[in-house]
Amino acid sequence: MKKTNSLPGPRGVAYECVTRSLDGGADAQAVLDNALTAAKLDGRDRGFVTEILYGYLRMRLRLQSVLNCFLSRPDGLPAPILRVLGMAAYEILHMDVPAYASVDWGVDSAKRLSRGKLGGLANAVLRKVARLAEDGADEDFFRRNSDSEIEFLSAYYSCPEWIVELWVDSYGRDKAEQYLEAQICPPAAGFVLDTKSNEAKAAAEQLLEENDYIASDGQAFAFYSGYWPQAFNGLKESVTRQSYAAREALSVLGPSEWPTPVWDGCSGRGGKSRFLHSKNISPIIASDPHARRLAALKREVPSVASFRASAINPPLAKESIGTALLDVPCSGLGVLSRRPDTKFKRTPEDVDSLVHLQSRILDNTWETIRKGGRLAYITCTLNPAENEGQIGAFLKRHKDAVPLKEWTTPPDSELHEFFYSALIEKK
């Protein structure tokens, strides 16, 4: 992997990941996986790099608003300098690291990136941040430094103003604040056990007895981020990671009752197909336009037949499908805790084009479903235009569509991820 700079040590690796994700547009998790493989760090340093990368991305706007208070002309500073100041400020304000180590790194990095010019400024600013950490950077600090409620919510909850406005307008102030709070927390760690294996079955029983989980359906478990239960040691292939909230959005639609064949029309790597397969639903066919995701599906769920296609124009006969599952491409505003870089990549304009794409997928898929069949629609976003608004408009366009169920992850969910799902029957 070609380096974008030469900052040393694990913090340098984290800085490079942030830069590649924000400037290069790459997915933060993919960048992190590559960087950790290339850098050959030990377990402790890997954890440190992961925490700084994700913590900084989650808190970036809050950190920027702190720095703005201590800089006379923040707009005049080069982006790499603001970035190292922000990362050092993240450590000082949110991590259990001696402040002097974070200040030293920030000053040294600012010097390297500015050929010595901006070390003094970095030192002055980061010392003020360290003083603020001692006094406590609470809500009041951000209220005092904001001109409006939206500006305060955006700075304190580190979320772009357009998303804050969308949530306050769509869901009201209280729910919006629950969603904002959740997206700066790490998401729950989700695991699925293959209970066909006796060891995995015994582990599931032990976990249910210990009762340390946030949520469980007996086969899948959600734990607080970073938790690895002892009961999983030695299980290897019979335990896999999967977002519990994503699984819940599918499971509430009662897939065991769905008419078959089931077509997973936006299958990606096959997370939903795998779940359906584990419930002995058959036959399942899967498709996605993305070749690499389909290749992963073929590896991970080889018994599911798959083909490459857009759900707008699928090579399927009219009225040949029992149930179409559409886990559609969406703006991802419900999973910002897991993918915080989305906050800086999505724009209101590309949300509009996703709404259009989803409605085309819905209309074209409807043709492939036979009478008495179902359409299951899922998103991982918090945006009425892609969720209840999208389904409401679909029901108006199709008089033979009967809504059976509509569901959203509750706003106080400790999973910190939010999904929407709906089930429709074809008369």
Binding site membership: which residues?
327
Q: How far is the CB of 136 from ligand SAM (least distance, A)?
A: 39
Q: How far is the CB of 256 from ligand SAM (least distance, A)?
A: 18
Q: Is 69 a catalytic residue?
A: no
Nearest to 280 by CA among 296, 293, 265, 262: 262
Q: How far is the CB of 153 from ligand SAM (least distance, A)?
A: 27
Contact, 83 vs 14, CB < 8 A?
A: no
The binding site for ligand SAM (CB under 6 A) comprises 265-272, 288-290, 293, 310-312, 327, 329, 361
Cβ contacts of residue 49 below 8 Å, gap of 6+?
Answer: 10, 11, 13, 14, 17, 32, 35, 36, 39, 41
The label of the residue with tokens 């335990």 reads: 239
Cα(138)–Cα(407) distance, rounded to whole angstroms?
35
Question: Which of 17, 159, 330, 380 is the catalytic position?
Answer: 380
Phi, psi of 32 (to 5 degrees): -65, -45
Q: For ligand SAM, which is the closer residue by CB, 58 or 274?
A: 274
Q: For ligand SAM, which is the closer residue by CB, 112 or 272?
A: 272
Q: How far is the CB of 174 from ligand SAM (least distance, A)?
A: 28
Contact, 337 vs 186, CB < 8 A?
A: yes
How big is the CA angle at 188 (ends 30 and 181), to the nearest 5 degrees? Answer: 95
Q: How far is the CB of 290 from ligand SAM (least distance, A)?
A: 4
Binding site membership for S-adenosyl-L-methionine: which residues?
327
Nearest to 243 by CA among 361, 332, 342: 332
Q: For ligand SAM, which is the closer residue by CB, 74 or 268?
A: 268
Describe the crossing of helices 271-278 and 244-251 by its angle, rounded to 10 degrees.
Answer: 60
Q: For ligand SAM, which is the closer residue by CB, 80 or 329?
A: 329
How many other β-carbons are positioned within 10 Å of the β-carbon of residue 187? 23
3-state helix, strand, coil in the chain (%, to 5): 50, 15, 35
What is the number of H-type helices and E-type strands within the chain? 17, 11
Q: For ligand SAM, which is the closer residue by CB, 327 or 386?
A: 327
Catalytic residues: 380
